[in-house]
Structure 1
Amino acid sequence: MRRAPLIALVAACLIAGAVVALLATGSGDDVPALHATSYPEPLASPHTTGRDHLGRDVAVPVDGRPAVVTFLFANCPTVCPLVGSEIAAALDRLTPAQRDGVDVVAISVDPAGDTREAVAGFLRKHHLTGRMRYIVGTRDELAPMWEQWGVEAQPSSDATQSLHTARVVLVDKRGRQVGSYPGGLPIKPDDLAADIVALEG
């Protein structure tokens, strides 16, 4: 075989290999087995930036770090306290290094009701102070986040029932949504803790 055709053949093989690798990157083949409901294909997470109840900048996802993202309001009488307690219990099951390796972020679905005092009280009550970042803001600031994450917010701060989308979303190191738990159903802390470890692996 002459040199020119051989070079062309090698180049074609390299290109084909690169295409296969690129396609595999976008597939779910590299997603670990999860206890959460896994998505058929990973979904790109919206790049979300805001401020927490203390005025500190929050961003999720962050390259190279898995995340647990949920949607709460501090005065919720039913679902949110359960979700908060379940997340806290899952974090309790992790080592300090494992806890440091995941970002836990809540996005407010009640702009008017989630005051600094209300959020601080919620985090304190559910043992999440310093372990969960809680994004707050005006309805205009938060509405794009709700739309991008596909959730419904509380219709108003006067609502006495939980009417928002209750969900706990798992984001991998590549910033992809790979699974979720419905917040309206019990979440086993052992399962959520194992999922976090799997995403960190």
Structure 2
Amino acid sequence: MPLRFAALIAHAAVALALACGLGPATAQPQPRAVPAESPASLLKLNLPDVVVTDHRGQTRRFASELLRDRPVLVNFIFTSCTTVCSPMTAILKSARERLAASGRGDLQLVSITVDPLADTPERLRSYASARGAAEGDWHFVTGSRASIDAILAAFGLPTGGRLDDHTPMVFVGQGQPQRWQRVYGLAGPSAIVAAVQGGGAALPQAARLTVTAPPAAETPAGTEAAALQGWQGLRDAAARQAEGAAPARLAGRDAASHFTNLPLLTHDRGPVRFYDDLIRGRVVLVHAFFASCKDVCSPVGANLARAQQALAAAPGIGPVQLLSISVDPVADTPELLDAYANRLGARAGWSFVTGKKENVDWVLHKLGLYVPDKTQHQAALWIGNDRTNTWLKLHALAPPEAIVAAVRRVL
């Protein structure tokens, strides 16, 4: 994991109001871009020319009329979606405006419902109008179940009305014959603009991104002491930063709405709602990791295990909930996370969190911890007191005594 340690230290005291968009102006997370695809890895899709209907009630042929010979963005939504669909529509709108301002006004957008039985042209028109996306060359498309399933299958997506399986993927099509790139939409407008302009924010066509191991001198050696020894310089810097970290009080916010109350899975408690079951009324430590990580996750886990012991022994603090949220929820099943927790010696009150990728991604996004490439996740630790709406941010390798002191500050 090529972590930029100096940048992480410098930014570790940024308030949650900025990282999560709780201030006067919403600040979107800016994940690092994934390297561009090479021309050889562009997708060649055999798209069906089925009949569809757009939000204006116009009947069109999908491949020959909607996807004509010019740049096109395609994504998938449904109007009753309560997670990523509205934010994705806003991201596409912003990308469209940026491209138009740069002289790329020839772009066409096509948003296809995965719920065609419920999403009539009228519902799609209402959805688009409410988001300022109903005008111009942007088509919100529905059709028969068979037609939509044929389109989904051509893009390699689940069919049969499986609403929960849709993802915030954007397909960028250009050229004749048209070739395609995939962009993870939550990476933001810049990633989409870069893909259209050839700047490279597209996801590789096949295979997972690999984890780059740290230099041998820094590789965790298996035991807690050895794992932490190679990171001593970083821990010292994190300790110095922790001494000056100032909490931010977030008054007057709807916490359940902001942090989301999406359904997730934990290794120890089974299905949960994120805010109600893991945040509400609690003092919490939150960070991101993934179980197959070969770099900073192991020493961070060992450090947090020591911090959990120190917090349990500290007088006047009370229960503290630790949350380790996987940035690789497809691979990190509850069973795998249970084994991971056992290896760390995690005690009661430390939940390892996974779930449907769409939900986990959105929770991470709201916490300012989302990245499109799991190997680029931050070694950041949020410390929060939901009872007082007070939060601060440390480096996750801050020494246990510094974490205990930070918890006292949010109390």
Does the 8 Å CA contact 2:125/2:134 hold for their aligned counterparts? yes
Distance of 2:131 and 2:93 partners within structure 1: 7
Structure 2-normalised TM-score? 0.35
Larger Rg over CA atoms = 2
Distance of 1:37 and 1:76 partners within structure 2: 30
Q: CA deviation at 1:75?
A: 1.4
Partner of 1:196: 196
Larger mean Cα displacement after TM superposition, 110-119 or 95-104: 95-104
Residues 118-133 of structure 1 mapped to structure 2, 5 A cutoff: 118-131=123-136, 132-133=138-139
Q: CA deviation at 1:77?
A: 0.7
Does the 8 Å CA contact 1:68/1:105 hold for their aligned counterparts? yes
Partner of 1:26: none
Does the 8 Å CA contact 1:153/1:163 hold for their aligned counterparts? no
Does the C-alpha gap of structure 1 residues 62 and 87 become closer, same or farther in structure 2, counting only changes over 3 Å? same
Q: CA deviation at 1:89?
A: 1.1
How many percent identity over aligned positions? 22
- Deviation sequence 1:137-157 (CA, Å, 0-9, x none): 12122111111111124736x
Partner of 1:135: 141
Corresponding residue SS for 1:169: strand
Corresponding residue SS for 2:187: coil
Residues 1-201 of structure 1 mapped to structure 2, 5 A cutoff: 38=37, 40-45=40-45, 46-49=47-50, 50-56=52-58, 57=60, 59-63=65-69, 65-95=70-100, 98=103, 100-131=105-136, 132-153=138-159, 155=161, 162-183=164-185, 186-198=186-198
Query: Does 1 or 2 have the higher relative contact order (CA < 8 Å, sep 6+)?
Result: 1
- Deviation sequence 1:21-67 (CA, Å, 0-9, x none): xxxxxxxxxxxxx968636522223154522122322534312x111
Amino acid at match of 1:92: E
- Deviation sequence 1:83-142 (CA, Å, 0-9, x none): 101001111223368453111111221012212232112212222112421121121221
Does the 8 Å CA contact 2:71/2:175 hold for their aligned counterparts? yes
Unaligned runs of 5+ in 1: 1-33
Distance of 1:87 and 1:195 partners within structure 2: 13
Corresponding residue SS for 2:118: coil
Amino acid at match of 1:41: S
Distance of 2:149 and 2:161 partners within structure 1: 12
Distance of 1:122 and 1:194 partners within structure 2: 27
Structure 1-normalised TM-score? 0.66
Distance of 1:79 and 1:140 partners within structure 2: 25
